[in-house]
Amino acid sequence: MAEGVCSQINLPVPSRTLLSKGRQPPLTVQRDKADVEERSLCLDCLIFWSSMRMWRVKDMAGTHVQACVLMWILTITTCQKIPDTHVTCIFSKECVLPCRFKPAGEEVIEWYWKDVLIHSYLNGSDLLHQPHTHHKGRTSLFYDSIAHGNASLLLNTCDIQDRGRYKCHVRTTLGDHNSFIIAKVVAPIQALTLEMIRLNGYEELNCSSQNIYPAPQLLWFTDPAAPPDALKPTTRKTANKQGLYSVESTLRGLGNLSDITYICMLNSSYGTHPWTASLREREQRFKGEDGGGLNIPCRAPTNLLNFTLTWTFTSGNKSMVILTFDSVTRQISNHWENQTRLDLEQVLSGNATLWFWNLEKSAQTGTYTCAFSAFHTRHLVHTHVRFTAAHTGKKPSRLWIIAVIIAALVVFITAFILHINRKGNKSLESKTTVEDTEIQCMPTATGEGMTSTDSKSCDNKPDQTDTEKINSE
């Protein structure tokens, strides 16, 4: 029975020879080593085993048995594994490593980090030497609470190297107390940025975040869902000198931007809630009259609770806030109250459509941004708007276009006619000159086959050819 009980708690079984002689068995497992390596042994069991005396007891059969069996039965119920306390510390912030004990006076407190002494307290004050330089000057105790059993350690300005296993050892007049703390250090995600960049005629989305630990994981989605092979992002992670990570991922836009919502999800380790940023780009042209109305639609992600809504207008390098709305307090601040409004009941259900009127003041070309912000969530809708507003209160007339076309035709036809007339006149003048040179005196009959000319009707001389013909006759 002794072998069975002692073997269950990983202690050596004393031999019968030693027991019969009343000698104390050798202890092969030392207490300090057991605290670190043999975590299955509780401190009370080790102290009892090291100080126990072996007695000889004679049973009914005349044999000697180990009295330790009876002693272990009384203490075995309190011999349990010392549990570790898990603590999460925030990078660059203060962190408390808890340690409680039963106060009894004359406390000696020692704190170890990976078996290296980093803080010690004796006789009501800290010891001056701190051999481990990494924690030097950054550790302290709650001195007013030590008499009440509080030996917790305050660690200032935590950094990545502070993670690991800590041991709190307290010695009082009642004995020793040990506790173990597993500390992890995180630099949580503070913000997630998603924006659209236009380069050389195509759109590219950029999702980024900085100063995170441990290294995060970034994923892309679309709504509606795109085929798995359609999304081919390029993601880069880099660490600075402090061990903090920055992540940046780029994704080429798909098809018509107005039909797709891009979603970037960033998740750090230790099971924290992921961050989500989503973006949709829209282009829309509005035609309205002076004093007329229009609306710019915007919808929130599904099941978004406790959010704030912000509408902004951007033109060139200038940006201004149109209005803000808080879904918790239901308070709205409208800076364009003479031109815009929201339907509050619709907003609470996710419909943040912005309504306009009096367009003579608010009809501007620019980008209207609808931004929903909630816990670890940000959703943006950019609507690029071009307004076409009439100033006469009537629909734009196209008669002037027809008039311009008719005038152009008249000018063309007139120019063409003038050109034809000029060409005709030149041809007529040329023809008249030729006819004048070719006209001959017409002969008249005088009788019996003889002809004569009328000097009054023709003053021109006959040409040389005609003269030659007459002479030859």
Closest to 66 measured CA to CA, from 146, 103, 11:
11
For residues 220 and 251, the answer to whether their CB atoms sit within 8 Å is yes
Residue range 260-286: average pLDDT? 88
For the segment 309-317, the average pLDDT, to the nearest whole number, is: 91
CA dihedral defined by 229, 233, 234, 238, rounded to 10 degrees?
A: -120
Is residue 107 within 8 Å of residue 171, measured between CB atoms? Answer: yes
Residue with tokens 């920055």: 246
Question: pLDDT tens-digit profile of 108-127?
Answer: 999 999 889 999 998 888 88
Mean pLDDT within 353-377: 83
Q: Is 181 exposed, middle or buried (0-12, 13-18, 19+ CB in 10 A)?
A: buried
Q: What is the mean pLDDT of residues 172-185?
A: 94
Residue 187: is its pLDDT beyond 90?
yes
pLDDT of residue 198: 82
User: DSSP letter at 123?
Assistant: T
Average pLDDT over residues 234-250: 95
Could you give the CA distance from residue 157 to residue 378 in angstroms, rounded to a whole number? 30
Q: Looking at the predicted structure, is the pLDDT value of residue 278 above 90?
A: yes
Indicate the range of 35-44, 106-115, 263-272, 391-400 predicted with least confidence. 35-44
Q: Which pLDDT score, from 0 to 100, does residue 168 have?
A: 96
* Band of pLDDT at residue 293, cut at 50, 70 and 90: confident
Place 37 in a pLDDT band, splitting at 50, 70 and 90.
very low
pLDDT of residue 139: 93
Range with lowest mean pLDDT among 34-48, 290-304, 356-370, 408-422: 34-48
Instruction: Give dist(CA 413, CA 429) in Å, integer.
Output: 25
pLDDT of residue 195: 93
At residue 431, the pLDDT reads 54
Which segments of 187-317 are extended strands (E)? 193-199, 202-212, 217-223, 234-239, 245-252, 261-267, 275-289, 293-296, 308-315
Average pLDDT, the chain: 75
Predicted pLDDT of residue 39: 40
Q: What is the pLDDT of residues 399-452, one digit of tens each?
A: 778 888 888 888 888 888 887 877 766 665 555 554 454 444 444 444 444 444
Mean pLDDT of 83-99: 94
Q: What is the mean pLDDT of residues 241-257?
A: 89
**Choice between 182 and 291, residue whose per-residue pLDDT is larger:** 182
Alpha carbons 288 and 135: distance in angstroms, whole number: 69
Better pLDDT: 317 or 320: 320
Residue ranges and CATH numbers for the domains of the chain are 2-78 (no CATH), 84-186 (2.60.40.10), 188-272 (2.60.40.10), 276-392 (2.60.40.10)
Name, in order, each residue with C-beta under 8 angstroms of 312's C-beta and a sequence gap of 6 or more: 319, 320, 321, 322, 368, 369, 371
